[in-house]
Copies of this chain bind each other. A is one copy, B any other.
Amino acid sequence: MINSRVILARRPTSLPVQSDFAFDSVPVPSPGPGQVLVRTLYVSIDPGMRGWLLDKPNYAAPVPVGAPMRSFGVGVVTESRSPAIATGDLVVGMTGWQEFAVLDATDVHRRIPPDTSSVSAHLGVLGITGLTAYVGMLEIGSPTPGDTVLVSTAAGAVGSVAGQLASISGARTVGLTGSEEKRRLCLDQFGFDAAINYRAESDLAAAIARECPTGVDVYFDSVGGLMLDAALGQLNVGARVPVCGTIGLPPGGAVDGPRPERTILVKRLRVQGFLATDHLARLDHIAARLADWLDSGRLTHLEEISPSLADAPSALVRQLAGDNLGRCLVRVAPDQPLPRTASARNRFEEAL
């Protein structure tokens, strides 16, 4: 059997382009003791990939040239040499951009309930992006009724959930986004109380002040850079700034800007970086809460799913340009019958 992969052909020095990637086909690997073979159903496209590609200090080692692009993925276990995981289990882990992945059982982030209503959601609102929004907004931002919450990349996979969680907490929410289409999406689909198309504003700080007349109590930051500068000036005393991304900085992030420490002191700010992957052990619990809100209609999400693995590089370029809408995923294999095991009764099987 053949494993189709998207590999890193050349290390980008700045933003990745499509030609940094190549396609190859290799034999499907065999799992060793304690490992499982996963047939990938969906892989994710994440802003953090920009950092994973660079040969610079980061929270993860750079993806080696010649290796499949690192990514989250959800798939079905087709062979297991681990007593903890059965053939037919649906699992989430770092599959990479490939049809088949061998994972250590200990590297499987999560087993998905077999009755799940949406497999792909486990890479989004019920997975890593939902976890990012939950930890950042509810545990670090901690908005309370009366607070004003400003959210960057508000129409995106993380920002849209973060904003809705702030609304659920009783806060007034203001979204920052990069087009009129996304601004409407923030208001109409994600329930933001106000939204700013930053590309249409000549003075972003003034626009934030206009839409946040009582100041900002939580700034959910996935951007850094000039947008963070503009937000810092509008923060109230005691405000919280969860930081989950720096997509507004040049790749690598080494650039000068106004020093924030005086503002941090004078306003008694809490600026806190976090990565959802540090909180994976709690994902089952948190995903169950998010699923309740999805089921009750208090939370909504949007996916943009490219139809085949070959689309992954272009989807990444599109995502980094801010041209996507919603959680950006790639379908690697059509939802398909699972091997007939007792645990494999999920809806996509039943649909066949």
Of listed A246, A257, A271, residue having the most chain B CB within 10 A: A271
Chain B residues near A297: list those with CB within 8 A: none
Nearest B residue to A60 via CB reads: B266
Looking at the assembled complex, report how far the CB atom of A194 sits from the nearest CB atom of chain B, in whole angstroms.
24
Q: Given A243-B261, A249-B262, A261-B246, do A273 and B278 touch, yes or no (CB 8 Å)? A: no
Chain B residues near A273: list those with CB within 8 A: 261, 264-270
Of listed A221, A228, A265, A274, residue having the most chain B CB within 10 A: A265
Partner of A271, one of B57, B244, B272: B272
Chain B residues near A15: list those with CB within 8 A: none
Nearest B residue to A237 via CB reads: B59
State the interface size on chain A (CB cutoff 8 A).
Answer: 38
A114 CB-CB contact with B under 8 Å: no
Q: Are B260 and A58 in contact (CB under 8 A)?
A: no
Q: Given A225-B259, A256-B256, A259-B256, do A265 and B278 touch, yes or no (CB 8 Å)? A: no
Chain B residues near A264: list those with CB within 8 A: 243, 271-273
A245 CB-CB contact with B under 8 Å: yes
A1 CB-CB contact with B under 8 Å: no
A224 CB-CB contact with B under 8 Å: yes
**Which positions in A face B, CB cutoff 8 Å?**
57-59, 221, 224-225, 228, 237, 243-246, 249, 252-275, 278
Add 11 more A-B contacts to A249-B262, A270-B273 (CB < 8 A): A224-B259, A225-B259, A243-B261, A246-B262, A253-B259, A253-B262, A255-B258, A256-B256, A260-B260, A265-B273, A268-B274
